[in-house]
């Protein structure tokens, strides 16, 4: 089970004994080993490895003073800021559970996340506070809200916050205050590797978003496996523009922690500013998602593309042709790989992989199977669903929060069912074909067709709707909605997408709208989405990216 290719600055599988594979033990080990070595830079702040453990204990004390106890959930709606990292580490230190919320979420989604996770505390940036006016909070045990204001300075005591009127009517007057200062550090809780560290919400397909329960040991293995794939050591500087509320950037934080390296978080992705930022930060390892690479390649070539120290990058979902063009222009090889919030970095390529165009080869510590609908293993060359399981305890998520039926369904027969159709080729490589589940992935975000459909059905003019993915020019999905109109109503796609924009994250608002006489259905009335996907973008389809296109909206029966 020992990993190969290790260097002195990189953690191996044996570095933490199984009972110590949790965040407090990891913080303690690295603080003792690396002490004042740089660990973190974000939004003008810098930490050493020793600063990280001190902040975890001090912020944990502030959480405890607010009534947060072991096992309690703490929701976080915050961009790439120091406060996010403080609270995340403090939750692990205290034995509480962090619940990151996508900063694009609107009121209905925020209310659902708070109610489903039963969060007792919400830490939120001031710019998002007004969204709570349309969030249903009555079903939550929310006792306090810490508001992160634009200014970084902390008052000696938490200051009251002027709440929007609609929010003030639903919470006690003293429930909302500014983000409090650090308190005297408390000792770490005696957490176990299998205890939850975070609940990360991932879009459902035929229902609301599911909260993936991620234990401490899973986070440890995410970091160890990713760092090994990228050959990270203590001399590296990792830099990402991806958001901390996703596993990708949270995993980057873990990689720096397990290797003694440094991580830099940029506030957002900028195509024109990407390479200057990597150069300014001294980055040696970068992290990109599929659509980001064609966007960068669309920029005019410049000296910054070569004036950097980057030696390697991680780029899951990047088309092989784009990856080759990226390497030719920038000198940076992007490695492919496969992992989901529920699993781990189980499949990956390497610098010396015999070929590209595949997700990669199975990594040590994991088992994989390509199976048919009955979970029977299929021979090489035959496509089927990718099933995964881990050989190490708690290296995968432990289930979906408050969804036992969905948990059993996904982990049936002791395998995690990924919902992705792949083929294992003769040399052992796994190649992605498509998604089996009715999910959409756009701009690195998983989108639930069900959730978009529910918002569209709440519009007074929509009678029936189907939401599904169509491919875009950026090698990712675009959101398309086919709908029928209620008798006596008209639907204007421009107004409809504005309606969606007030209730959905920006990335989930449909780009394409098709208004049809009827939706294709089976004999028992189920919508046949595969027929709509095959039809794709037609001549009558309205495209939000081309606002001058004629509106197809018409009264029902026209």
The secondary structure of 302-321 as a DSSP string is -GGGTSS---EEE-TT--HH
Return the structure tokens found at 185.
């550090």
Please give the pLDDT value at position 1: 28
Weakly modelled stretches of the chain, pLDDT under 70: 1-14, 151-160, 162-169, 204-206, 437-439, 474-475, 522-526, 547-558
Q: Decide: 66 and 166 in contact? Cβ < 8 Å.
A: no
Tell me, what's the pLDDT at 234? Answer: 95
How far is it, in rounded angstroms, from Cα 37 to Cα 30?
10
Question: Which pLDDT score is estimated for 160?
Answer: 65
Helices and strands counted in the chain (H then E):
14, 27
Please give the pLDDT value at position 545: 85
Cα distances (angstroms) measured from residue 436 to each of 136, 143, 384: 33, 40, 9
pLDDT of residue 548: 55
Number of Cβ within a 10 Å radius of residue 324: 15
DSSP 273-341: THHHHHHHHT-SEEE--TTHHHHHHTSPP-GGGTSS---EEE-TT--HHHHHHHHHHHS-PEEPEE--T
Residues of the chain with CATH 3.40.50.980: 47-211
The CATH T-level fold of domain 449-543 is: GMP Synthetase; Chain A, domain 3 (3.30.300)
71: left (phi over 0), alpha (psi -120 to 50) or beta: left
pLDDT (0 to 100) of residue 463: 86
Q: Give the model confidence (pLDDT) of 156-190 as tens digits.
A: 566 667 666 566 667 777 788 999 999 999 999 99
Residue 197 exposed, middle or buried by CB count within 10 Å (0-12, 13-18, 19+): buried
CATH of 47-211, one of 3.30.465.10, 3.40.50.720, 3.40.630.40, 3.40.50.980: 3.40.50.980
CATH 3.30.300.30: which residues of the chain? Answer: 449-543
């Amino acid at each position: 089970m020992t990993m190969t290719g290790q260097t002195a600055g990189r953690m191996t599988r044996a570095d933490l004994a199984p009972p110590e594979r949790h965040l407090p033990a990891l913080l303690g080990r690295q603080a003792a080993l690396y002490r004042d070595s740089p660990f973190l830079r974000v939004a003008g702040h810098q930490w050493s490895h020793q600063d990280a453990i001190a902040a975890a204990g001090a912020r944990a004390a502030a959480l405890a003073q607010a009534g947060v106890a072991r096992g309690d959930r703490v929701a976080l709606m915050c961009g790439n800021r120091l406060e996010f990292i403080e609270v995340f580490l403090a939750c692990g230190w205290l034995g509480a559970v962090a619940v990151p919320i996508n900063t694009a979420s609107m009121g209905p989604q925020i209310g659902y996340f708070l109610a489903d996770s039963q969060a007792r505390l919400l830490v939120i940036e001031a710019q998002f506070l007004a969204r709570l006016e349309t969030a249903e909070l009555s079903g939550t045990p929310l006792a306090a809200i810490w508001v992160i204001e634009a200014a970084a300075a902390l008052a000696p005591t938490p200051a009251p916050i002027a709440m929007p009127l609609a929010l003030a009517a639903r919470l006690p007057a003293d429930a909302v205050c500014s983000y409090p200062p650090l308190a005297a550090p408390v000792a770490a809780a005696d957490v176990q590797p299998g205890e939850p560290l975070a609940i990360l919400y991932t879009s459902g397909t035929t229902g609301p978003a599911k909260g993936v329960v991620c234990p401490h040991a899973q986070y440890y293995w995410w970091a160890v496996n990713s760092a090994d794939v990228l050959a990270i050591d203590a001399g590296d500087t990792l830099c990402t523009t991806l958001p901390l509320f996703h596993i990708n950037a949270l995993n980057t934080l873990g990689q720096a922690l397990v290797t003694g390296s440094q991580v830099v978080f940029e506030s957002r992705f900028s195509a024109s500013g990407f390479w200057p930022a990597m150069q300014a930060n001294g980055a040696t390892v970068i992290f990109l998602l599929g659509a980001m690479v064609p966007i960068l390649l669309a920029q005019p070539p410049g000296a910054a593309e070569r004036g950097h120290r980057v030696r390697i990058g991680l780029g899951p979902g990047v088309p092989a042709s784009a990856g080759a063009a990226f390497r030719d222009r920038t000198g940076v090889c992007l490695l492919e790989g496969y992992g989901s919030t529920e699993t781990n970095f189980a499949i990956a390529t390497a610098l010396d992989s015999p070929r590209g165009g595949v997700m990669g080869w199975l990594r040590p510590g994991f088992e994989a199977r390509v199976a048919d609908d009955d979970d029977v293993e299929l021979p090489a060359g035959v496509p089927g669903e990718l099933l995964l399981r881990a050989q190490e305890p708690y290296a995968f998520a432990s289930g979906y929060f408050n969804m036992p039926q969905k948990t059993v369904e996904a982990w049936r027969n002791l395998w995690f069912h990924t919902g992705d159709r792949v083929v294992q080729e003769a040399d052992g490589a796994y190649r992605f074909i498509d998604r089996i589940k009715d999910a959409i992935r756009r701009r690195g975000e998983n989108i639930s067709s069900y959730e978009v459909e529910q918002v569209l059905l709440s519009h007074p003019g929509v009678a029936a709707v189907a939401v599904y993915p169509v491919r875009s020019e950026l090698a990712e999905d675009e959101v398309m909605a086919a709908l029928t109109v209620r008798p006596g109503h008209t639907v204007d796609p421009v107004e409809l997408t504005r309606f969606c924009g007030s209730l959905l994250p920006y990335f989930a608002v449909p780009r394409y709208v098709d208004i049809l006489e009827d939706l294709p259905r089976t004999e028992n009335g189920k919508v046949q989405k595969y027929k709509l996907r095959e039809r794709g973008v037609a001549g009558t389809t309205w495209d939000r990216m081309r606002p001058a296109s004629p509106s197809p909206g018409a009264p029902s029966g026209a």
